[in-house]
Amino acid sequence: MISMRALSHILALLVALGAAVASGQRPIWASEAAPAAKAPLVFSARIVGDESRTRFVADMTGAIDVSVFTLSDPYRIIVDIPEVRFGLDSEAGVDGRGLFTAFRYGQISPGKSRIVLDLSGPVKVDKAFVIPPADNQPARLVIDVVATSRDEFLTVEKAYRDTRRVEEAARRDRAITAPPARDSGKFTVVLDPGHGGIDTGAKGRNGSVEKEITLAFAEILGKKLEASGRYNVFFTRTDDRFVALGDRVEIARDHGADLFVSIHANTFRGRSIRGTIVYTVSEGASDAMANEIAASENEADALAGLDIAAENSDEVLDILFDLTRRETRNFEMVFAQNLVRELRQSTSMFKVPHQQAGFKVLKAHDFPSAMIELGFVSNAEDEKQLLSQAWREKVSDSIARAIDTYFEKQLAQRSVQ
């Protein structure tokens, strides 16, 4: 027997899931990639209303399908749409109003864009629709929310999670593929430019954006490694797209990574704090600052509106991998020491140059991983360096040398065995 109350929640969810389903079309997450050049342009976005009812409005050059769902802890509304181009000014989404505290937007995967609306508390999505363009009026996306209780919010979220769980299980079944053939004699290095798409990462004092710095730097480093002829080099992303933390590890594993190097830029409250830091993974953090930086890097998935509660299920497996893991962690320590030694030659390091914390993206137990936080965008001098081509050249040279030394030692050990 289904209560009217439960029925109204389910109904509310279906309304929220939006036009795609209601119009008899396939849901957004099943649609094919649209060519970006033809994608509608979102040129204006604003929040109107107050604490009792708040509306998010976005104007765009063409109509699109929309699907909406909600996630708790923190409270968020995820608006999934086909790929669009965002032409909003840099301040868009920084300030909230009414029940919205802020919003973010960007590409989430090929052919798909996403808007994440941060909430001040639990809400009910009352309306979610797109008005097609007419009479010189642009197309308009409208999301209306009203305040609700935490219980009601969680009921809607649970109904959504239950449907997604079934879809996810089916997707995993299809995704099992054979490992790629290895190019013998070469080591495989996977470079991971941090953040991307909807997840911008840290923002600098003078407008620099972490996701752009990490991509540009990884490209320079990747070219150097490729030019040496010693490595197969792969990237977790080569353009401005969102890649979930777990997917970054999976991409590396699919390529048969011998080494995983994640590239980031730091931010911290104290504007005088600066310098490069090398991070490796550990259960506990070296100190409070390392802990805080890991927590903020680990937030990437939540910021992009990923359902993180559905993940984190591989804890039990960890025990089985204990031996491999110990060996991997030993290799990482060697690599981190190489990095610190080489980086000292080309840039100023933070006073504790190698630190450890629970970074999700470094948790692979079958290949060594390290993260290089190149510098602090919150520090003016560091930010200037991070944008300098000359600095990028010499620092990537140092990292390439650290990688060379690491594998030379590996080769020497292999020939002894």
The residues of the shown chain that bind Zn ion, judged by CB under 5 A, are 194, 201, 264, 297
Here the tokens at position 8 are: 């109204």
**In 175-316, where does DSSP find H-type helix?**
210-227, 245-254, 288-298, 300-303
Query: Closest distance between Zn ion and the C-beta of residue 282, in Å?
Result: 18
Name which of 196 and 201 has its Cβ closer to Zn ion: 201
Query: Closest distance between Zn ion and the C-beta of residue 357, in Å?
Result: 13
Name which of 44 and 291 has its Cβ closer to Zn ion: 291
Length of the chain, in residues: 417
| CA pair distance 260, 367, nearest whole angstrom | 7
Give the list of residues 6+ apart from residue 250 with CB closer than 8 angstroms, or none: none
| CA pair distance 401, 413, nearest whole angstrom | 18
Give the nearest residue (CB) to Zn ion.
264
The answer to whether residues 103 and 116 touch, using CB atoms and an 8 Å cutoff, is yes
Name which of 194 and 275 has its Cβ closer to Zn ion: 194
Query: Closest distance between Zn ion and the C-beta of residue 212, in Å?
Result: 12
Q: How far is CA 70 from each of CA 88, 112, 395, rounded to the nearest angstrom? A: 24, 18, 42
Helix (H, G, I), strand (E, B) or coil at 378: coil
Rg for the chain, CA atoms, rounded: 23
Query: Closest distance between Zn ion and the C-beta of residue 298, in Å?
Result: 10
Edge-first strand listing for the sheet containing 259-266: 231-235, 187-193, 259-266, 369-376, 276-281, 349-357
The answer to whether residues 289 and 376 touch, using CB atoms and an 8 Å cutoff, is no
Name which of 298 and 405 has its Cβ closer to Zn ion: 298
Name which of 192 and 258 has its Cβ closer to Zn ion: 192
Query: Closest distance between Zn ion and the C-beta of residue 99, in Å?
Result: 29
Name which of 114 and 264 has its Cβ closer to Zn ion: 264
Name which of 20 and 263 has its Cβ closer to Zn ion: 263
Query: Closest distance between Zn ion and the C-beta of residue 325, in Å?
Result: 24
Query: Closest distance between Zn ion and the C-beta of residue 218, in Å?
Result: 12
The answer to whether residues 230 and 407 touch, using CB atoms and an 8 Å cutoff, is yes
